[in-house]
Every structure is written in C-alpha cells, then in structure tokens.
Amino acid sequence: MSYKIKEKELKILEMAAEDCDLKIDYEYSGRAMFGEYCIGIKYQDDYDLGSLCEFINENGAPKLALSIATRWRTDTLGKGYIKYNHF
C-alpha cells in the first residue's frame, strides 16, 4: 500500500520540488503497475533527491521525507530517475 500523502504534505512537496527545480508527475504509471497511477518525483541524481528530502523535513513533513528516502520505489527514465509512491 502506498504512503497516503496528506494535503499539507502535498503542498510542502510541491514547494520543495519548485525550490529544488524538480518535476512532479501526478499520474505516473511505471513498471509492473498494470495501469495504476501514483505520484512521482523526477530527478537527476542523489544530490537532487537529498535536497528535496531535506527541504521537506525542515518544512514540517518529516514522515513524508523519510518515506520518500527509504520506501518509495525508484525507476530510471533514461535521462534521470523517478521516485514514486507505489508499493
């Protein structure tokens, strides 16, 4: 089961993505998802992801930051990566 993002956490995630110049995919459907959709964060390297999680943690959503860093799945996009909330 995916991490249920609260409305406040989504706003913080959106602010973090903007601050870190990352894109959010609100309807990502990846490998072995069989047509299901979830939220994903597109990034280039671990530094980008670390900056995003740090921003989220410092702005009041430590559980979301921890979930992104440790539980969300990662997939390659050819020219970068995506972390997505599907378990």
* Alpha helices for 1-87 (secondary structure H): 7-19, 46-58, 62-70
Are the CB atoms for 52 and 44 separated by under 8 Å?
A: no
Q: How many residues does the chain have?
A: 87
Q: Which of 43, 55, 60 is nearest to 72 (CA)?
A: 43
Spatial separation of the C-alpha atoms in residues 12 and 80, rounded to whole Å = 23
Q: Report pLDDT for 68.
A: 95
Q: Report pLDDT for 33.
A: 87
Amino acid at 75: D
Q: Report pLDDT for 10.
A: 96
pLDDT above 60: residue 1? no
SS3 for 20?
coil
Give tens-digit pLDDT for 23-79.
Answer: 999 999 987 888 899 999 999 999 999 999 999 999 999 999 999 999 999 999 888
Q: pTM for this one?
A: 0.88
